[in-house]
Chain A
């Protein structure tokens, strides 16, 4: 499975934008880039995903490098509720028995200061 590399931790102030980077230099052409976050004592929550183009949804934006070897999750205005572990994951779309399993890396712990 292709791997991702993220900073162990990042900090932000409330109502400021946050840019969470992810490197995935071994990504294959059919891998989707997924982001999940996990709040304390909860299961992971889907945030956003993309393949080649930048994506926006109500939670965040995903900026994907032209060579697809890196991506950045953007939280436009951080709130205290955004404090979580953020996971960048490559999800296979290939055949066989992969069935799109998620292989989690260690993620980035985001701390948001009031």
Chain B
């Protein structure tokens, strides 16, 4: 089945140590999104790619960056994780048709900061 895969499911890193989370998709969708979801909160969009075009949300900290080397893969880089960055990180994809098409989510990577 076509799907969105996030690895790893659980990631532990140290305070200030860079970490990369990965997302791959077999749906061949043009758009890939990264969301942050803190405990007991709703997901919050960090940024998204439309093909190779990167779109950052206005309130996403500079500490968060993303790369999309090809259609299938997208990475979330946290340059210097702080304790407040502990959260579930969700990757999602969508086809080009914006309004009608659903977003397909992976099961997330839960990031812990020591």
Binary interface encoding of chain B residues 80-114 relative to chain A, with 1 for a CB under 8 A from any of its CBs, else 0: 00000000001010100111111111111000000
- Residue picked from B97, B98, B106, most chain A C-beta under 10 Å: B98
Q: Which B residues lie within 8 Å of A97 (CB)?
A: 50, 55
Contact A99:B48 (CB < 8 A) given known A31-B99, A34-B102: yes
Binary interface encoding of chain A residues 87-114 relative to chain B, with 1 for a CB under 8 A from any of its CBs, else 0: 1000111000111111111110000000
- Among the stretches A10-18, A19-27, A43-51, A70-78, the one at the interface with B is A43-51
Q: Which A residues lie within 8 Å of B2 (CB)?
A: none
Q: Which A residues lie within 8 Å of B105 (CB)?
A: 43-45
Contact of A32 among B4, B41, B99, B106 (CB under 8 A): B99
CA A102 – CA B99 in complex, angstroms? 10
Contact of B42 among A42, A91, A105 (CB under 8 A): A105
Contact assessment for A100 and B55 in the assembled complex, using a CB-CB cutoff below 8 Å: no
Contact assessment for B98 and A106 in the assembled complex, using a CB-CB cutoff below 8 Å: no
CA A99 – CA B42 in complex, angstroms? 20
- A46 to nearest B CB, angstroms? 4
Q: Footprint of B on A, CB under 8 Å?
A: 30-32, 34, 36, 41-46, 49, 51, 87, 91-93, 97-107
Known interface pairs A34-B102, A36-B102, A92-B99; 16 further A-B residue pairs with C-beta atoms within 8 A, sorted by A's residue number: A31-B99, A32-B100, A42-B108, A43-B90, A43-B107, A87-B42, A91-B99, A93-B98, A93-B99, A100-B99, A101-B33, A101-B45, A102-B33, A102-B92, A106-B41, A107-B42
